[in-house]
Structure formats: structure tokens, C-alpha cells
Structure 1
């Protein structure tokens, strides 16, 4: 995918998410003027971006969507469920077309049927019925395209007749000083128009300039720019550049290029007329640019933000097809001419100051980087970590000390932290699409649901968020389908007929806690017990001996479902087992808490980052294994093991910890040894600040060692022969036949080339 198309797709995807959420806000409160402005702004930007890129199908469909929204904004059409369903269907169609552009560069979706329904709703207030509008409703739908565009930014109408604006333009516009004609422009056919094009500050200057060049190609044919097109597309210009256009008129050039949102201002003149103070057209990109700036400030997604794709060029070069488009465009230029001239004056007077400020304090603060490049950088950091471990081990074998290696450790750790931070993205990248999901499901089920999100600015590793999206979707579907009751059932139970679903994310040290909570009917533990017996998941004796908290975990059993009937939403007996598997594959966990009649909470505990972790190496029967340090609470000699009812336990304060002998468990579980070479036991300082040492010959005590796992992870103590060392390692997940092996979370390659299995203490 070329860079321009990638930029368009990225901004369009962000815009679609914003549009969905803005429509949800409008549906919740039709009187919310700010929500209406947000909806219209985003729809207008999407339409303009598509036009600027030459995707006419998307632009034309977006125009129909925009006209209907304008009718709503002007008060000609009411916000009704039918209208909102139609608008959401329109957003889904735009999303499908953008997806096709991302995949193939072309649009195959035919939106003509939906477009005709949008027009019918605009004109009559309903689809397939009589006019639902007021007495003059037949005229309400006739929205002049240019007027709609002009009213975007605050609804200000064109001011004054065109003739008066022309006079103001001529009085206020400065005469343009035409520079010396470059050699490349000498062969241009006359008359040659000089254009002083100001882009201004832009996050992606190269993309902005490329779109202006595209408009010059489409509208005017031959032209020469200074700097040349290659330099412009690389962003090698200082907020403005010169253009010389062959066989053109200054006013036409000013009108065509000035309409682009990327263009902050443009001044034109005929080459050869400047000595006589010839006419100059000064065109500010108008209110549309101002609106774009507001959009950029709020979300960073606007036309002048990261991608720089134009938001208001109806076709990148062409005006609207409507009969009044030409006159409307002239009126637009005339109405804005006076303000445009003033803006030009300001731009000219302050150009040097702007450049100075840009260098001193307005540098670009962020860039758009391809995900593959970030992953490649992260891979190199992983290799650096492995090489650093190898180097240190070689020096230790030679009994050598090196201050340079200590410095390398610090630099590598800093680089590692930076690379990991680059992979972190806010939870909102996933959660922003959930309000629309909940809205659609609740409408399908005729339920009323108030959905809220907290902590959408919490950051997680991109890989974790990508993998967790589908599990979160499934849990939300369950909350709406199984959790929240119908309005009638809630009222009968003395509840508010509107149910509440809350999605929260909270950072807790090196983990993130994500919860999906509802105030629905909750889970009945006795019903779960009966279901488990009926489906052969557990025996009657086993379920009766289970505590309620243990019973709730039955929902994660493969094929287990509490649904009375299969629906399009959920209840097919699949899903929650995959949810738990996904969480565990990410070195996380998931649990369920519920109160019958009060609601249910599904809680995920996930690491912030993946891949590079600190592990403690232990010896089990001559084979080396790794245990993540973050899971360890304490390391001690195994001299206090007791036997209770045939089971080994160890006491810590007032708690009992079952003892798992790794030698037996790994052998019985079939976990093959993937590395060997247990070294001498050394003193180990665990994450909890406690230490222990094994001092007998060969590093193995008579009793062995106990590694007590943190209570919140799993209340057990692991028995091993010796504790060896701790290091930061690169953990690779298990693939192929080994994937999902109980007790193993991955493998680590050590500096000497040995491969060590890293234990999963939860499934061990």
C-alpha cells in the first residue's frame, strides 16, 4: 500500500470510530448541539478526504450521508430510531468501502440502494412512506451542496452579494510580488500564473504537498513548482512554496487550489503584471480550515493532523456536480474574500515569525510509524538482550570484570524500555468500537442499556490488545445477552428498566486489570451445578463439594453454556473457554464474580508488556527451568514441609500452601526437557526482597528448595532441587504441537545457546 493510501485509510478508520461514537452521543441526546457538530464535522471530513484521494464512490455516498445530517442539524428532520438506524447503516457501508480500499485500492461495494434511502429520508423524513416533515418539508431536503459546505463551521451563511465581495478583495489584497521565472517554467504556454501557496504547519507536510500537486495536475495540466515535486513530496519546504501554472487565470487557480483544506492561503498573479501592481487573488481556505484545526486540536485526526489528507476538496479537483455548484463556489469565494485578504496580510506580515517559532518551539511532536518497523526494532532489542547475556557469561567464565559491560547493561536496559514503550497503545484503540457494539446488540434484543468506559487511556502492549479484542467482545455480548434482563423483568424485580454495563481498565504495577461488570441477573451457583452435572462436566459429588467461587469458574469449561436457547448473539457453548485460553497465553488470568440478582463481573489480569521478562532459574532433576520473577513471593529451604491427609503443605503465616514437586509434575505432565546444564546455586533476591541460598555440594540441599508463588497468582509452593540464578530473557511462545502444553508458557534462549523452558505457574 502506498503511503498516501495508507494515510487515507488510517485517518478514515479513526474517523469511522469517531463517527460511530458521535452518533451514539446524538442518539442518547438529540438536543446535544456539540454531538451534532461532531457528527457533521467527521462525516464532512471523511467525504472530503475520499474526494481528495479520487475515491468518487465513497465521496458521493458520503455526500448523501452529509446532506441528511445537515437536514437534521438545520432542524428539518428529527432524530428518530429509523433515522439513526439508517445513519449507522451508512457508517457501516463507508467502513466496508474503506476496508476494500485498504485491501485492493479499489471500491467494489455498490451503495446506490442505501444512498437512495438516505436521500428519501432527507426529503420526506421516512423511507417508503409519506412525507413526515412540516408543511414545507418538501423543500427541506433540497440542500444546495455548496451551502451545506459553507455552513459546516458554525452555520454562518454567505455574507453579502458577490459584487460587493469582489470590491473588497481588490481593495484589501496585497499586490503579489512575482519572483524570477525559473528556467523550467520558461517553456510553459502563456498566460502563466504565479501562485504563492502557503501550507502552514503540518504533521505530514509531504502528504499535504502531494495532494496540492495532485489538484494542480487534475485541474491545470502543465505547471512548475519551486522546490520541485520530489522535494515537496518529501516535505522539504518551509510551510510554503511557489507554483507557476501554464495557460491559466489567476482567479481560477486561486479558487481551485484555495479550496483544499491543506492550503492555509494562496495568492496569485499573472507573470509579468506584478510590476504594475497587477491583480492578486488572496484566498484563505476559509471556515473549513478553521474547523479542521479544531478537529486536530481535539483528536489529532483532522485533515491537517497526522495524515494531512484533505478534508474539504469535494473531488480533489472538481466542484460538485449539482446545478448550483459553480455559482455556489463563486459565492463562497466572494463571501470569504475579505476575510481571506486579511488572513493573507497576517500570513505575510508574520511569516518570518512563524518560521522562527516553528524552529524554537513548534516542532513536530509525533510521527506515524509503520507497525512492522516497530516490531523489527523490538526484534533487534531482543537479539541485543540475548547477546548481552552471552557476553556476560563468557566474561564470568574468564573471571574477568568490565566496566564497559556494566555500561552496556544500562544502555541496553534503557533501549529495551524505550522499545517496549513504543509498543504500548491506549486501551481506547480497542474500546472505542465497543459502544456501537453494545448499542446494536441491545437494539436487537429490545433491551435498554447504559454503557460506560473508564480508563481508556491506560496503555498496554499492542500484541496484548490485539489478542484481547475478541475475548472482550465475547464477554460484552454475554453481559448484554445473558446478564442484563429485559426492561419488563427488571421492573418486576424492582430495578431500573435500563441496565448498566461498565468496562474499566486500571494499571496495577506491571499489570493491567480489565473488568466487564453488569447489574443484571447474575449467575446462580446452584443452577451452574445442575448444568455441570447434566452436561457431564462434573459429578454430583464434585459440584456439591465446590465453593461458589469455584462453581463460577465452570463457565470456562469447553462447551459449557448457561443459555436456555441458541441466539445470534451467544449461547452456542463456545467462547468462554477460548477467553481463558487467550488470557493464559498472554501470561494473564481471568476470573468471574457474581451475585444472584445483582450482577456479574468478569476480571482480566494481564501483563502490560510481553516477550522480555525477568526469570529465576531452578534445577529440577538436572534440567534447568525458568520461573517468572513477578510470580514469586519467597524462596526458602524445603525443611518445613508437612503432610496433611496425605497431601504435602507448607505454612506461611496463617495460610497453607499445597506443595507441587516439579520433578513429579513435569514428568507426569509430559513436559519434555528442552534444556539442561544446571549450574551452581547462588543467592537469589526475589521480587519480594527476600532471599535464600543453597550451599551444599553441587548446589542441591538434602531437602531441596521451595519457591512460594504469590497468592494473587496461585496459592502454591513449587519444590525444586536448587535455585540457580536470575536474568532478563527473551521468552518465545510455544508454537505448533507444543502450543498449549500445560505448565509451560514458552522458551528462552540463553547466551550460551541453551534453550530453557519457562514454566506457567497457573496451569502447572
Structure 2
């Protein structure tokens, strides 16, 4: 069977099932009496086992099968759940994740799982899964699918098979109610069975199954040398199989079933009912999976459309063509709706990142001997797919630092009058056109004097200006490359790497990070990110007949200042503005253009957190929605330039990196 075409679907579904297992297992660890959670874990594990076997990943299927046995024993109350058992199951899930990661990276998914399988077998202690009674199975089958009828040739084949000692089985397979590809799943069942014997007949027919002209159940008459359990287990390895009912049949039983079947409803009525149910289900299907590359191509095409629309709009205004201007205004409304729709398609809940942290914190607390509770809120907050992919590693660094440096040992917390269990709150929410992610802990807080002393020793600051530093400036020293206040190096943190990478990554996404802390009470990391990176609103400014774009998210306000407001302090040009002294930067000088001396200057006040800088420009052109274009490999290191955009007249405008100027 050719399985490569199903690989992407297998990877995506495997990751979803593993995440579901992790979430329910974490909940079950807190509530051992809730066997409903075990049922959910078992269902995900069972589906994963079937998918893995079908795709040929035997190590994955073997481990999942043994884990499934333990879960079945738990839900049937054959074994009592202990913390050690939970740890072993978590260890098994870790191995499953490693194998799926290997497959995702192009590997074969092979891993030595003998040790964890042996542990699971010890937990199981020889318990067996009860098999369905054959009489109950027969009664259940008769209510699910119609009995098979055979022509003379098929009767001859069955008779010869029985005479030669083969088993003849009637197998009813019921798919999950949520199965989206019924035909594909049925095809996988056929492939599995054809490797073990010979299929005589199916109800409905093969053609009807291929066209998905059946409900969630179909049946097969099958001849094989293998026993019922082997056949049943083979079918269960296919994903999205809800139930398998199997019974040994003879020609006499078939004839009897056929006579009873004559009293069943008319075939036309059944077909009509089936079509009605299919129509109902089709109406309920409101989502499809689309490859991200297709959405990227759609976005690129739309970006080109925006550029052409801007050029057309400028040409119409230059020619004072009022009818054309009105048409373009209608295009603007339509393009705005289309833009919002495309951006919404790229938006995904940030829980794709957040859902990895509860298990990570659990593992770290056991390693460090601490007691920590992680609270996650706002996981439904949506962010651009590209940003979700890149924000994961910075958040891992921050949470590991909170666990290692922030939360104290239980004994220390008790001595300080705190609860032995520390608390970390990971939350996200929308704020205007931005997404805010905060990591707040109730740990020891940050010792500012310790930071200052370390910074002086490293030569990052001098002892003379240490007293002039504000709290935000002190905390900002933690982001200096190689800076760490950890007294001991561990595998978790304290090697002087991480926070500088965190800051660089966040700023490369157009965001910012701020630290707030109070000694003895806790620390808060607040990350501010734009919703998307592809299309932004910017202020176009004129600098020496060149047009530059300033992202609106960085702009606090615009102002016109006079020459007497400008001062020079310690060889730096500053501006006295709103009872504050802020640096003043002439963009013409920054970009190697001539500086013009004037009595008044147009300025744009930009900010990053609490830091502010006034940028001097020649004039304001106006606010525009611009499409961000990269500069290419040769120009990506240009100072204070983060990208470019194409204006309505076809000219290229550079996008100013305000964060670089503020730094």
C-alpha cells in the first residue's frame, strides 16, 4: 500500500492526538476518580495506534498498543492509579512524541522503546482485555448491517474454504461519527485484510464505498487462516475505527439471515434516508484544512493587487478622473474585506504554543524538587501563523527561567510566609492591534542590586552612572548578551544565554518585551506583538525628497518643534518635550543625507516600552496601509531599515526600524 500521500495527514493528526493525551493525562493526574478522562486518553491512543500501524511505523504502534492495555486496565478498575504509574505513562507519551518528531523531520520514526514497554507490561501485571461475547456480537451485527447473500460461485468458494480448514467471517466495521474521509478509511481496511486473506463480498458494494454512498458502517465477508482476534486487531490499527464486530458464518446461517432480511424496509426508503442523513452531515461540515503555502500564495497575490490598486488610485487623482476615483473607492471597500478575510485565515489560536507548557512545567518541577502550579488563560487568542511558529522558543526560555530562578524551593517559600506551591500565570489577550503575552510568577523577584553589581563587573555599565538607572533600565540589563545572575549553572538555565535571544527574536517580529519585578513578591515578563507581519499601517514621511515609512505601532505622536527646544547634553542632541528630555535623531543624518538648518522641525515621537526618541523629518505625507517586502540577502543588514514597500507611483519606500534607533 502506498502511504506517502497520507503522511502529512498522519503527522498532523498524530500531533493532535498526542496533545489531547497530554492534556487529559494532566487533568487525570489531579483527579484519579474521573475515568471519563481515561476514556478520552484511550480513544486518542487507540486511534494513534491504528494510524501508526497502517503507515508502517511499528515501534510507534507497539508502544501505543501497550499503553492502551494499561489504560484499559485503569478504566476497568483492574489496577489502582499511583503517581509512579502516571509517570510511566508520561514517559511513554514522551517516547511517542520523539518518534512523531522523527517522522516529521523525515526520519523513520524508529526508537528503542523496549524499556518503557517493559515498564508498561509490569504495570499491566498480566491483565487482559475482555472480548465481546459471540452471541452479543451476533445480535449487535444484525442491527447494524444487513446480512450477506451469495451467488452460486461464492457459495462454492466458501464451501471449499471451510473444507480446507479456513475461517469464514462476516465482519462489520463502524467508523467514527466524525470521520471525514470514509472512503479512504474503508480503503485502508480493505488493504489490511487483503494482506491476511481473501475478501469475498462487501455490503455495500466496493463501488458504493468508493463513492462514500454509505453511512458509517460497512461489512465484509472474509476468508483467512488467522483467528478472529488477529483479524480484529489488524482492523483496529486503522485510524478512526469506532467498532469492529466479527463472527464466523456458514452458508446455512447466511440463508437464514437472508430470509429474515426480507422483512426489512424497502431499499429505496433506506437509500432516501441515507441521502437525507448525508445531506444533513454535509451541511454541518463548516471547516476544511488548507496548506499554509496556499494561503501564503494567496496573500502574495493580494499584496501585488494592493500595490496596483494604489498606483491606479494615484493616477486617477492626478488626472482628476472622478468616475474612476469612485470605482477605486468601491475597490477599496472590497479589498479591505478581502484583506481581513485573508488575515483571518492566517490567524491561529496561540494555544498551539501554550499547550506544550503544562507538561514541561510538570517535568521541570519534578527535576528541581519544587511545587509549581501553572495557570494558562487566553489560549484562544489568535495570532498570525508565522508569529506563532516563532514565538514558541522565547516563551520556553522565559518559563524555564521562571521555574528555575523565579519560584523558590518549598522550604524557602514556607520560611518567607508563602504557600509551598508556587504559581506561574501564562496569559494572552488582545490590546488594540497588538497581542500581549504575559508570564507572571509569585517567586523571589529580581534583586536589582545584584544585577547592577554584575553589570559593573562585566563592564556593561560604569560605577558612576549606576545610580542614575531607573528600574526598567536595570531590568533591561538582563537582556545583554551573556548576562546572568545565576550562581550555579544548571541544565535548565543560568548559562548566560536565552534572554538576549528572547529579546532579539521578539524585536525581529516587530514586538517588544518589558520586565517588572518586586523583590520577594514576583516577576512579570510582558511581550507585545503585532497581529501580523505582512501588511501594516504606516506613516509616510519625507526626508530630503526620499519617502520613508514609519510603522504606526511604534508612533506615539507627531509634533512641530522649534529650534530653541533642542539642546546638547554630553555630546548628544536631546529635545525638551512634555517635561521630559528625550534623544533627538535627524533621519537625514542617519541615512547619510544632508541636514537642513531650520527654525522649525517636523518630528515623530516613537517609543519602545517606556523609551522614547524624537525623529526629525522634512514633512508628513500621510497614513497608508503598506505591504512589507524583504530587502534580500545583500541589504538585510542595513542599519535601522527593516524592509521596503512599493508606493502608488511605483517608487520604493524604505521601512524604518524604530526599535533600532531607540536602542
- Give the TM-score normalised by structure 2: 0.84
Label 1:206 to 1:164 Cα distance change in 2 as closer, same or farther (>3 A).
Answer: closer
* Correspondences of 1:438-517 after superposition (within 5 Å): 438-517=361-440
| Mean CA deviation greater in 88-97 or 427-436 | 88-97
Distance 2:345 2:87 in 1: 39
Map Cα deviations across residues 19-76 of structure 1 (whole Å, 9 max, x no partner): 2222222333434434333333333332233234443332222122222333444445
Deviation at 1:374, TM superposition (A): 2.0
Distance 2:316 2:244 in 1: 64
1:374 pairs with 2:358: no
* Correspondences of 1:197-596 after superposition (within 5 Å): 202-221=179-198, 237=213, 239=215, 261-262=240-241, 278-279=257-258, 352-353=272-273, 355-359=275-279, 362-401=283-322, 402=324, 403-596=326-519
Distance 1:198 1:348 in 2: 22
Label 1:639 to 1:520 Cα distance change in 2 as closer, same or farther (>3 A).
Answer: same
Deviation at 1:628, TM superposition (A): 1.4
| Mean CA deviation greater in 347-356 or 90-99 | 347-356
Label 1:348 to 1:36 Cα distance change in 2 as closer, same or farther (>3 A).
Answer: farther
Q: What's the secondary structure of 1:377's corresponding residue?
A: helix
* Aligned match of 1:89: 91
* Aligned match of 1:703: 600
Q: Is the 8 A contact 1:227 1:241 kept in 2?
A: no
Q: Is the 8 A contact 1:189 1:247 kept in 2?
A: no
Label 1:491 to 1:242 Cα distance change in 2 as closer, same or farther (>3 A).
Answer: closer
Q: Is the 8 A contact 2:375 2:425 kept in 1?
A: yes
Q: Is the 8 A contact 1:188 1:222 kept in 2?
A: no
Q: What's the secondary structure of 1:706's corresponding residue?
A: strand
* Aligned match of 1:4: 6
Q: Is the 8 A contact 2:563 2:598 kept in 1?
A: no
Deviation at 1:621, TM superposition (A): 2.1
* Aligned match of 2:165: none
Structure 2, gaps ≥5 residues long? 160-168
1:25 pairs with 2:27: yes
Q: What's the secondary structure of 1:763's corresponding residue?
A: helix
Deviation at 1:198, TM superposition (A): 7.1
Match of 1:758 among 655, 659, 662: 655
Map Cα deviations across residues 401-436 of structure 1 (whole Å, 9 max, x no partner): 413322322222222211111111101101101111
1:63 pairs with 2:40: no
Distance 2:272 2:447 in 1: 72
Label 1:229 to 1:37 Cα distance change in 2 as closer, same or farther (>3 A).
Answer: closer
* Aligned match of 1:126: none
| Mean CA deviation greater in 11-20 or 565-574 | 11-20
Q: What's the secondary structure of 1:724's corresponding residue?
A: strand
Match of 2:577 among 634, 644, 651: 651
Q: What's the secondary structure of 1:609's corresponding residue?
A: coil
Q: What's the secondary structure of 1:541's corresponding residue?
A: coil
Distance 1:702 1:601 in 2: 44
Q: Is the 8 A contact 1:191 1:246 kept in 2?
A: no
Distance 2:433 2:461 in 1: 36
Match of 2:128 among 144, 169, 192: 144
Map Cα deviations across residues 579-601 of structure 1 (whole Å, 9 max, x no partner): 11111111110010000011111
Map Cα deviations across residues 595-615 of structure 1 (whole Å, 9 max, x no partner): 001111111000111111122
Q: Is the 8 A contact 1:176 1:269 kept in 2?
A: no
Distance 2:408 2:267 in 1: 60
| Mean CA deviation greater in 525-534 or 410-419 | 410-419
Deviation at 1:711, TM superposition (A): 8.2
Distance 1:114 1:258 in 2: 25
* Aligned match of 1:693: none
Match of 1:117 among 106, 116, 119: 119
Distance 1:280 1:621 in 2: 94
| Mean CA deviation greater in 2-11 or 537-546 | 2-11
Distance 1:172 1:748 in 2: 66
Deviation at 1:440, TM superposition (A): 1.2
| Mean CA deviation greater in 490-499 or 188-197 | 188-197
Distance 2:266 2:614 in 1: 73
Deviation at 1:503, TM superposition (A): 0.5
